[in-house]
Amino acid sequence: MSESLDRLFLAFAVSKLEQFTARIRDCLGRLSDAHIWARAGLAGPKLAERLDATVREAVAVIRALTPERLAERVVIQGYDVTKLEAVLHVLEHFAQHTGQIIFATKLLTGADLGYYRHLDAAAPHADPTP
């Protein structure tokens, strides 16, 4: 029996949060504390530890959602949304910050972070121009 759409979505949401977290942790490991904070702040390892704890909490909440609860409405920061919309917003927001951190890491280190290195081995795509 195939998985239900709601379970597929929630598993994808968890997977993306975990992927984004891994990439942020990788970036934190590549940057000096001076790079991470232009002003006073937590050192990279402590910041990564706090990030991991927050994402673990979010993942637990997402995993506990049932199909019926996805349609429930909640008010978050003044916005009336479904829980499904809330999960999508969390993914969108976290993805935007992950992209910013990846960009800053590439800019500051000059390194290819290698997140898509596996595509180098893929077969070349056909040229779409005749």
pLDDT, average across residues 82-86? 91
Indicate the SS3 state at residue 43: coil
Output DSSP code: residue 100: H
pTM for the structure as a whole: 0.72
pLDDT of residue 123: 57
**Structure-token pair, residue 66:** 């049932």
Per-domain boundaries in the chain: 5-121
Element spanning 41, H or E: none
pLDDT, average across residues 33-60? 87
pLDDT (tens digit, 9 = 90+) per residue, 34-45?
888 765 688 889
